Amino acid sequence: METPDKFLYKYKGFYFVTDLVSPETIDSLDSFEIRDDDVFIITYPKSGTIWTQNILSLIFHERHRDGTENITLINRAPWLEYNVFHEDLQSRPSPRLFSSHLPYYLVPSGLRKRRGKIIYVYRNPKDVLVSGYYFSKIATKAEKLKDFDTLLEKFLAGKGTIGDWKNTLTVAQNERFDSVFKERLEKLPFTFCWEIHEDSEPTSSSVEENNM
């Protein structure tokens, strides 16, 4: 486990908030038993998670606010990794609704084997950045950033409150993202890292891999 700063630590290739997520919790999730009628809301932070939690919890209770008005959101759609109340999530009655910001490779193995259902919500990363900046000003467990550029630098380095934005995508989604990315940039006068081969001659317009 790496601890790059007092707010974040790196574990299994991913950044987590030090005060909210423990390595032991992450390790325990791999064997978390998934039921066929489980529903998981998977998002990157500031991508519409709370909206989705509210909508689905109303659907689950079917009586609109009658079944949810006296229940906190964290109890209606509890987090897998942020189990701050140490609840026995495994014993919750079916159908169960859960939330998570975890990347695909860290979710329970049963979920990767296509048990249960996933509702994946994504948002333009530029909008995620803006929302994240204002959220950091009021969040009690988040680092207080001095300016937007500091957040942008951390975001591009994969040091968000839940790691790299692209890590929340599946392999297929990442391949699609890269394909669109390359297509839109093909007319620029640069040679990108995916076009450089060992027998290629370096050019002044080449972009080094560690800068991409």
Structure tokens at 81: 């990794």
Q: Which of 45, 39, 42 is nearest to 20 (CA)?
A: 45
User: Of these residues, 61, 64, 86, 101, which one is catalytic?
Assistant: 101
Cis amide prior to 108 (ω within 30 degrees): no
* Cβ(43)–Cβ(127) below 8 Å: no
* Cβ(120)–Cβ(43) below 8 Å: yes
CA dihedral 45, 50, 52, 55 (to 10 degrees): 180
- 197 noted as active-site residue: no
Q: Are strands 39-43 and 8-11 parallel, antiparallel or unpaired?
A: unpaired
- Scanning the structure block, which residue is given the tokens 């001659």? 201
For the annotated catalytic residues, the residue numbers are 101
